[in-house]
Every structure is written in structure tokens, then in C-alpha cells.
Amino acid sequence: MIGLRLTLAGRDRSEPDWYPACRQRPNAFAFAFLILIGSVCLVSANPVTIGSKKFTESYVLGEIARRALNDAGVAAEHRQGMGGTIILWQALQGGQIDAYPEYTGTITQEILKNGQQLSFQEIRDALAKLGVGMTEPLGFNNTYALVMRRSQAQRLGIRSIGDLRNHPEIKIGLTHEFLDREDGWRPLRERYGLPQQSVIGIDHALGYAALANGSIDVKDAYSTDAKIEQNDLVVLEDNLQFFPKYEAVFLFRSATSPDAINALHRLEGTLDETRMTHLNMEAERTKNYTSAANLYFQDDGKSASFAGESFPHKLARWTLRHLELAGFSLLLSVIIGIPLGIVASRGGLIGQAILGFASVVQTVPALALLALLVPIPFFGISVRTAIAALFLYGLLPIVRNTASGLQDIPRSLRESAIALGLSPFTRLWEIYLPMASRSILSGIKTSAVINVGTATLAALIGAGGLGEPILSGLNLNDHVTILEGAIPAALLALLVQWFFDLLDRVLIPKGLRI
């Protein structure tokens, strides 16, 4: 796995060599810690938090709710595109968010896991037992639908889902959520007796591109999806009435402030399907959810106060959060990683276990690591989870470089330090660590660059950062928006690299640099 010398020089030394402990005058390392600590501070306020799922309509509804709450004098923030149903529901129950837009069909099938159709009141009663309230329908039914290219549908004479039975060669691409849903692909195929065996899972936004270029012929969509019109697609008729009703509502924690709940109730019955489709189209055309949401209030005859956040402001917000994620996790990696590296440098079973653990963590894909952390109660959908995952990722380079830097110190110098009569702590702090500083710092630099890159994934669990525009760009299939996040992230990685090159000059003792 790693070609490390695990036997330690001076194995005859009968005295324990180094122990991190007690006081000493501060030196360059302590200074570096202070810089890092100082550069990271977590902002914490307590506004009402609105969540949204990772698709346009949910983003727009989330923005509408945020604006409605703000207009009602309630401080609110919107965490965009946090993921799928389960993630949002867990976040709501865990209190990481206070409200989010949901659909009645999804509530019955996915959250309450009830096989039958429930009446509106039955749903509300069941949710109340879980400490969750629900508004009346917002006014539109966004049910699932299967869509295909209009030209192909006409050529093959396909008008309903049932017609697909006669065309087994049709290629189907579905979102992962639809593939797995209780009311998704499997029961649909059974009900209609569809012959298509090979179905691929594909991201919702990318699926439209795949549909356009002919990679797939049929995909799942929402009936108010703006892309249906834009891409000249047709909705296949659900002739067996398989899909349940998907009335849009807001779910909120019962503990949310009454002012906030009242503001959500005022949205009931104000959005019909035409209007929602129009807002969705606006969002996709302008690439700006806030301005689309503002249209809702404009049409309502209220004043449109602002047309969304300006780009520099957004960029500053993303970058700051990005640095916060990468910086705080790096700080943790340094604080935990260097002591672990010191222990690992002494070899033996514990040393191998530490290096083994750090290496194994590195092999888990970042996305999987996030997914593994989310169900753990302390973490959930939060910045904490993102920082924890990044911290684990940053560990290996620091642990490994600390260990190898210490092991590379020649035995003769090690023994000179012991023979002089220096205490174990002084040997470590004043002799061994400074001598290994180049290796340790290059490990920290590697971790920092990795963290800045990996932190873009934090947006997947709603932790923000420069991954946010990348993710919404992916959702909108809009390259400019993707680049708005990707370019600053790459520049940031370069800056971090330079910063640490500079830090080398300050922290590596002069005698090791000439």
C-alpha cells in the first residue's frame, strides 16, 4: 500500500523517545496553527432555513418561500438543491431545515410508505404525529410523466405509456430516484407490462441532453417541467392512471415560528400549473431562481424589490464558504494528523493501523463518504458533514508525510540529541519536528489543494461553496453557470498552492533551505 519504512532507527533505544506534552516557547509551528485558526471562523445565525430538492421547480418554490418569509419580516435563508426526498425529509426531522416544498404523492409513497392513496386529511394527521405540518396545496399537480421526442413519437405512433409495449427497442433513461421509488419504474413496468429490460439511470438535467441527442428515447419528467416545451417533447398519456396525484405543498416543522408558518399558508392556492410552468421556464431561461421567484410576487401585484443577488456578491459568498469548508477541515487534519503521524513514525502495529486507516479512507469516493456520514445523527445534512468528510480526506497526506519525515532523520542525529541529554519532548519539538518540517509542510500543502478541490462536492449536501453554481449549472445543463463555480475553484487551488509555497519560506528553518 505505502512503501514506508516501519522500523524505526535506533531500535535499541531503551528510553521512550518523544512525547507530545507540556509547555515550550512558541515556535514556527505554533505560529502556523494560529494563522489557520484565525483564518477560519464559522458564521452562525439562526434564521428560518428553507430547503429545496435538486431540480428547478423545487429551487423556485424554495426561493418563493424565502421571499415570502422575508416579506413577512421573518429572517430566512434558502439552502438550494440539497438532494432527493430522503435527504430533505431527514434534514427536516433533524432540524437542519425548517421547511421545504414537497408533493403529496411523494409524501404518501416515500415518506409515509403507505401503499394506498391517502386523503389530504389522512396525510396531514400522519405527518402531525411526526412533528411535521403541511400547508394546503399550492394549486398545481406536478405528477410524474414519461416524455419522448415529439418527432419520434409521431413517427412510431406512440401516444400513451401503453403504446411502449409494442416497441421493445425503445431506450429508456430514468433518474435514480424514479428507478428506486415505490411508485416508480418497477411497478410502472409491471402495471403496463412493458418489455424494455435495459434501463439506464441518469441525472435529470443530463437526461434531457441525452434525449435530445438520441442516446435515450424516453425519460421521466414532471408534468410542469419547462423543458418539455423547450425541447419539443410530448408527455405520454398515463392511460391506466398509474401515477398518483402530486399536489405541491410546503412541509414545515411544527416547532417553526407561527409567523413563518402563516407566511407559508399565504402561498396556498396561488400557483396553478400554467403559472408554475411559466416560472420554471423563466428560471431556466434567465438562469436565476431568485428573479423567477420574484415574478411570482410581481404578478401578485406586489413590488419586486430586488432582482436577485449580484454576481460578485454571490461569488464572494460561495468563495467564503468554500474557504471556510476547506480551511476548517484542513485545520482539523493538521491538528489530528501530525500527532497521528508522530505515533505512526514509531512503527509497530499501531503505526501500521494508523497509516492503513488513513489510506482506506482515501480510497472511498468522496461522494460515498458524504453519503455514509449523512445518516449519522450528529452529522446529517450540514456543513459539519462536509467538514468531517474533507477532514478525513486531508488526513492521509499529513499523517504519511509526518511519519516519513520523522523516519528520514538519520540515526546519528537522533542519537546525538539523546546523548546530549535533551528531554523527549524537547527532542521532538526542537529537533525532530523542525528537521521534518519540509516533509510535513508538503503533506499539508497536498491536503489543502485536495480539500479545495473536493469541497466543491459539499454543495451536494447543501453545504454551499463553489460547488453550488457547478451543481445548479449541471441541473440547468448550463455551461456558463458551471464555469462560474469551476474557474474560481481552480484559481483558489492555485492560490492555496502559492500561499503554502510562501509559508515554506517562513516555516522551514533557514539551515534546511541553504
Partner 1 sequence: MAMSALVKLIDVNKHYADATALQAINLSVELGKTTVLIGPSGCGKSTLLRLIIGLIQPDSGSVEFNGEPVTFETIGKLRRRIGYVIQEGGLFPHLTARANVLLMARHIGKSEDDMQNRLAELCELTRFSGGLLSRYPVELSGGQRQRVGLMRALMLSPELLLLDEPLGALDPLVRAALQKDLKEIFTRLQQTVLFVTHDLAEAAYFGDEIVLMNEGRVVQQGSVVDLRENPVDSFVSEFINAQRGVTLT
Q: Note the residues at the interface with partner 1 (CB under 8 A).
A: 10, 12-15, 412-413, 415-423, 426, 430-431, 434-435, 437, 509-512, 514
180 by DSSP, 3-state: which? helix
Closest to partner 1 by CB, 54 vs 414, is: 414
Shorter beta-carbon distance to partner 1: residue 45 or 419? 419
Write the DSSP string, 390-443.
Answer: HHHHHHHHHHHHHHHHHHTS-HHHHHHHHHHT--HHHIIIIIIHHHTHHHHHHH
Give the whole-angstrom CA distance, residue 13 versus residue 283. Answer: 70
Minimum CB distance to partner 1, residue 434 (Å) = 5
Cell of 23: 509547555
Closest distance of CB 179 from partner 1, Å = 59
Q: Which is nearer to partner 1, 239 or 416 (CB)?
A: 416
Q: How far apart are CA 190 and CA 408, in angstroms?
A: 65
Nearer to partner 1, 8 or 209 (CB): 8
133-152 in b/e form (b: 16+ CB < 10 A) is bbbebbbbbbbbbbbbbeeb
> Least distance in Å: CB of 412 to partner 1?
6
Measured from the CB atom, the residue of 367 and 420 that comes closer to partner 1 is 420
Neighbours of 104 (CB within 10 A): 21
Q: Is 390 exposed, middle or buried (0-12, 13-18, 19+ CB in 10 A)?
A: buried
Give alpha helix (H) positions in 213-310: 226-230, 258-265, 273-286, 289-299
Least separation in angstroms between residue 426's CB and partner 1 is: 6
Q: Provide the minimum distance between the beta carbon of 510 and partner 1 in the complex, in angstroms, as a whole number.
A: 7
CB nearer to partner 1: give 11 or 155: 11
The answer to whether 192 touches 240, Cβ cutoff 8 Å, is yes
CA diameter of the chain = 92
Shortest separation between residue 405's beta carbon and partner 1, angstroms: 12
* Least CB distance to partner 1 at residue 495 (A): 28
Q: Which is nearer to partner 1, 320 or 413 (CB)?
A: 413
* Cβ at position 511, least distance to partner 1 in Å: 4
Q: Smallest gap, in angstroms, from Cβ of residue 6 to partner 1?
A: 17
Q: CB of 513: closest distance to partner 1 in angstroms?
A: 9
Pairing relation of β-strands 199-201 and 172-174?
parallel
Decide whether 2 or 506 has the Cβ nearer to partner 1: 506
CA distance 167 to 170: 6
Question: Which set of grid coordinates corresponds to residue 358?
Answer: 488513513
- Closer of 274 and 423 to partner 1 (Cβ): 423
| Position 282, amino acid | E
Instruction: Name which of 6 and 86 has its Cβ closer to partner 1.
Output: 6
Residue that the C-alpha cell 514509531 belongs to: 346
Contact between residue 129 and residue 202 where contact means Cβ atoms under 8 Å apart: no
Name the strands in the sheet holding 248-253, side by side, starting at the edge strand that comes first in the sequence: 76-83, 48-53, 99-103, 248-253, 132-134
State in angstroms the smallest separation of the CB of 423 from partner 1: 7
CA dihedral 387, 392, 394, 396 (to 10 degrees): 170
Q: Are strands 218-222 and 172-174 parallel, antiparallel or unpaired?
A: parallel
Q: Closer to partner 1 at the Cβ: 230 or 423? A: 423
